[in-house]
Amino acid sequence: MRQDLGQPFDSIESAQEFMDLLQESIYEALLDVDDLCKTAGKDSQPRRQEALQVVLHKLNQLSLHTNKNQRILNDLRTLRRLLFDERGHQRSESAIAANSVRE
């Protein structure tokens, strides 16, 4: 029994929106953890600082992977447009609309 919850990844564009939100969250987390890391250094808590540096490293890795996935999604969207001639179809519709306005 599968419930349809709006399917957040119905399209490449919705997946791209999700990846954009994820990238923003990662950036905010990086800033927060960086601040915590600086505070831990001042409070002379070396073990905590080391743990926070590992967290920074992992967040940077996640950010790199997210960027790669965003590029892959962009490539897929471009390929879909080429395969289904979406750009050509949009251009021909706009040309028809422009011609009908002139007449």
Q: Which residues contact 81 (CB under 8 A, 6 or more apart)?
A: 87
Q: In this predicted structure, what is the pLDDT of residue 2?
A: 45
Band (pLDDT 50/70/90 cuts) for residue 103 is: very low
H-helix or E-strand spanning residue 9: none
pTM score above 0.75:
no
What count of other Cβ atoms lies within 10 Å of the Cβ of residue 77?
16
CA–CA dist 38, 31 (Å, integer): 11
